[in-house]
């Protein structure tokens, strides 16, 4: 099987990848549809917990279809369009974050700067392969410039809190997300044009980790590590999720430029960063007193926020990208 895959051209390999991806999504969606019909007939068992689980599954499937479509369209139209599509995802996640974070009149200039200057410039730097500059553009230049713009608005009330919220939103939604299309542009020897496999590798191992952690967190009787933040975050479930995600990464080494041991290590790093980042985002939601980032009528996905679906990826992508660049000297 490995020999057969390597004998295919790059276009054929990536086409086969998307064929498998859409096939799996179609099967899972069909299973979820049949399951919903079966539960609809069983009127006597009106279980709120089961309804909530079904709603979460529908939201996850909707987001999975949307992200898979974004990946496919981006690959089909080229690296530039892929960067544009991820910039749109970044825009909508930042919108969700800012919408649920209180702002004042003095923040308007900073918000315009964030959405219509910082975000486009960050993705332009990615698309033009200015990797050294795009990695410091937001943490250095933007983080110094935004407070200045806010201070010039002459509104010092809760200045530190307002500045920190905007900077944190940009860091997660723009800086973190921009590292996903950057993976498409890494120049590995003898791996030209196969960046889509790296994106697929990252997304799959992180999502596997999150799913395993979520399922075990509901079933294991262990005490939550941070019950006021997340009732489902337990060390045993977390270790199992990271371990399974790492194992999946090791098994997928044949679609990457990594050796099995290297793929395992990179997958473990991504899983640790993504799962702990997801916990951080839960703490932010508890601070805001909300259950998800996409409130009714404001969500892009229609069932929970888009940021709820990609927050782990926003934390995992920078760690994965810079670890790969450093280890392989790219």
pLDDT digits (tens, 9 = 90+) for 4-63: 555 666 666 667 767 777 787 788 778 777 777 776 666 555 566 666 666 666 666 666
Closest C-alpha among 126, 149, 148 to residue 137: 126
Residue 265 reports pLDDT greater than 80: yes
Residue 69 reports pLDDT greater than 60: yes
Closest C-alpha among 114, 231, 221 to residue 168: 114
**What pLDDT was estimated at residue 155?**
86
Structure tokens at 201: 């590798």
Residue 279 reports pLDDT greater than 80: yes
**What pLDDT was estimated at residue 1?**
52
Q: Could you give the CA distance from residue 92 to residue 235 in angstroms, rounded to a whole number?
A: 32
Q: Give the single-character DSSP code of 107.
A: G
Q: Could you give the CA distance from residue 206 to residue 269 in angstroms, rounded to a whole number?
A: 10
Task: For residue 268, give every residue at least 6 positions away whose Cβ sits within 8 Å of its Cβ, in sequence order, or none.
Answer: 242, 245, 246, 249
Q: Please give the average per-residue pLDDT across 64-80, as a whole number.
A: 71
> Mean of the per-residue pLDDT values for the chain?
82
Do 213 and 240 meet the contact criterion of CB atoms below 8 Å apart?
A: yes
pLDDT digits (tens, 9 = 90+) for 241-252: 999 999 999 988
pLDDT digits (tens, 9 = 90+) for 153-200: 888 888 888 888 999 999 999 999 999 989 888 888 877 777 778 888
**What pLDDT was estimated at residue 49?**
60
Structure tokens at 108: 């308007």
pLDDT band at 297 (very low <50, low <70, confident <90, very high): very low
Share of the chain above pLDDT 90, in %: 32
**What pLDDT was estimated at residue 318?**
95
Structure pTM?
Answer: 0.83
């Amino acid at each position: 099987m490995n020999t057969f895959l390597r004998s295919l051209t790059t276009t054929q390999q990536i086409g086969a990848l998307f064929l498998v991806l859409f096939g799996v999504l179609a099967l899972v969606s069909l299973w979820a549809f049949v399951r919903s019909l079966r539960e609809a007939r069983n009127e006597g068992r009106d279980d709120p917990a089961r309804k909530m689980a079904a709603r979460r599954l529908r939201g996850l499937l909707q987001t999975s279809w949307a992200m898979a479509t974004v990946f496919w369209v981006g690959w089909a139209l080229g690296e530039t369009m892929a960067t544009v599509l991820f910039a749109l995802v970044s825009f909508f996640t930042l919108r969700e974050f800012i919408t649920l974070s209180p702002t004042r009149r003095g923040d308007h200039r900073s918000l315009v700067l964030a959405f219509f200057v910082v975000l486009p410039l960050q993705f332009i730097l990615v698309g033009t392969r200015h990797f050294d500059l795009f990695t410091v553009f937001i943490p250095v230049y933007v983080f110094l410039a935004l407070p200045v713009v806010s201070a010039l608005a002459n509104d010092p009330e809760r200045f530190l809190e307002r500045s920190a919220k905007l900077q944190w939103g940009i860091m997660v939604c723009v800086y973190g997300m921009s590292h996903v299309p950057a993976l498409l542009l890494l120049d590995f020897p003898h791996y030209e044009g196969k960046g889509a496999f790296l994106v697929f590798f990252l997304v799959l191992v992180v999502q596997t980790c999150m799913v395993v952690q979520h399922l075990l967190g509901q079933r294991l009787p262990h005490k939550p590590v941070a019950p006021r933040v997340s009732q489902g975050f337990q060390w045993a479930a977390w270790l199992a999720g990271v371990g399974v995600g790492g194992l999946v990464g090791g098994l997928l080494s044949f679609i990457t430029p990594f050796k099995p041991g290297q793929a395992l290590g990179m997958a473990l790093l991504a899983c640790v960063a993504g799962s702990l980042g997801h916990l951080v985002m839960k703490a932010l939601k508890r601070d805001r007193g909300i259950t998800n980032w996409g409130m009714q009528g404001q969500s892009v996905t229609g069932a929970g926020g888009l940021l709820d679906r990609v927050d782990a990826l926003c934390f995992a992508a920078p760690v994965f990208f810079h670890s790969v660049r450093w280890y392989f000297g790219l």
